[in-house]
Amino acid sequence: MSGRLPTLRAVQAFEAVGRFGNVAAAARDLGVSSGAVSQHIGRLEDEMGVSLFERRGRNLVLTSWGQIYLERVRIGFDHLRAANTVLQRARQKSGIVVSAPPSLAIRWLRPLVSDWQRIAPGLSVRVIGEDDEPVFEEEQVDFRISYGTARHRYAHFTELFVDRVSPVCSPSFLKGHPVTAPADVLKGPLVGIEWENPYQSPPSWSDWATQAGLPRLELQCELSFSLSSAAIDAAIDGAGYVLGQASMVDQDLAKGKLVVASNCWLDLSEPYALAWNRAVLDRPFGREFRDFISQAGRRLRATTSHF
């Protein structure tokens, strides 16, 4: 036999007869005539140069060559059936699953999802807060908001915004700790943030001091959190100053829960980006959700540029 593969129809007929043990049952399963199945088997045996079946009464029994061939062919068809099942489930899936770093999921994405549900009521959205970057096909995730170089893991992504930080605190705290110059902020107390993101670290208080034109100091924080959202909550409760990301504090600033202690903003070193599984765009509202989040990112980008 040459290196040319036999036709898929012929191999499919062989696999079906091997499963059912007779031509009639295989024909019903494939939706063709018994004569067509027999012809495919005959051509396949001619191409392979061996007998794959021997007849015993009304049934066909695999020869030793047929058993060897079916063992491998069956694995291939099992994979094809599994792939078809995955595809059908993906097409029938009505909800959207979006993954994001925990604090961004809580403070920026959650309000956006509430707005989205007013646009597309009845469409379920599942938000997963995690630092680890998901593998779309393996973890049933449709969208991922990534920070920094992690965005390059994905085939399809668009940059959302470059976030900025500035010292924020509660109004009552600022009243008791008035700030007339950036150096007053560093008198503290300072709330620190230590990301568990394996790709980058957030701006430090030392970075901010340099941005504000102050000497670079190694500053100690009396209180630190691994989650930005928890650090911001602590500032709202009066624990001190925190370097709040614009994306995460804008609503608290608007509601008066937080105030900017010193209007000196420092850009993060990398952008946030929205990545997506290409298959989600073929599902209801997949493209619309992508565009909705992208537009929200552009709005934030325009807002932070005025800080």
Interval 86-113 mean pLDDT: 81
Q: What is the pLDDT of residues 273-287, one digit of tens each?
A: 999 999 899 888 899
pLDDT band at 233 (very low <50, low <70, confident <90, very high): very high
Residue 84 has pLDDT above 60, yes or no: yes
Length of the chain: 307
Interval 89-97 mean pLDDT: 66
Confidence at residue 305, expressed as pLDDT on a 0 to 100 scale: 62
Interval 55-73 mean pLDDT: 86
Residue 178 CA, chain-centre distance (Å), reads 43
Confidence at residue 94, expressed as pLDDT on a 0 to 100 scale: 60
CA distance 118 to 233: 27
Angle at 160 between CA 249 and CA 248, to 5 degrees: 10
Instruction: Reduce the DSSP state of residue 241 to 3 states and report it.
Output: strand
Confidence at residue 90, expressed as pLDDT on a 0 to 100 scale: 56
Residue 91 has pLDDT above 60, yes or no: no
Of 273 and 119, the structure prediction assigns the larger pLDDT to 273
CA distance 144 to 104: 11
Confidence at residue 1, expressed as pLDDT on a 0 to 100 scale: 47
Q: What is the pLDDT of residues 3-50, one digit of tens each?
A: 577 888 888 888 888 888 888 888 898 888 989 988 998 888 888 888
Instruction: Reduce the DSSP state of residue 105 to 3 states and report it.
Output: helix
CA distance 146 to 131: 9
Residue 290 has pLDDT above 90, yes or no: yes
Residue 29 CA, chain-centre distance (Å), reads 39
Residue 131 has pLDDT above 60, yes or no: yes
- CB 261, CB 168: distance < 8 Å: yes
Secondary structure of 128-172 in HEC code, one letter for each residue? EECCCCCCHHHHCCCEEEEEHHHHHHCCCEEEEECCEEEEEECHH
Residue 92 has pLDDT above 70, yes or no: no
Confidence at residue 202, expressed as pLDDT on a 0 to 100 scale: 79
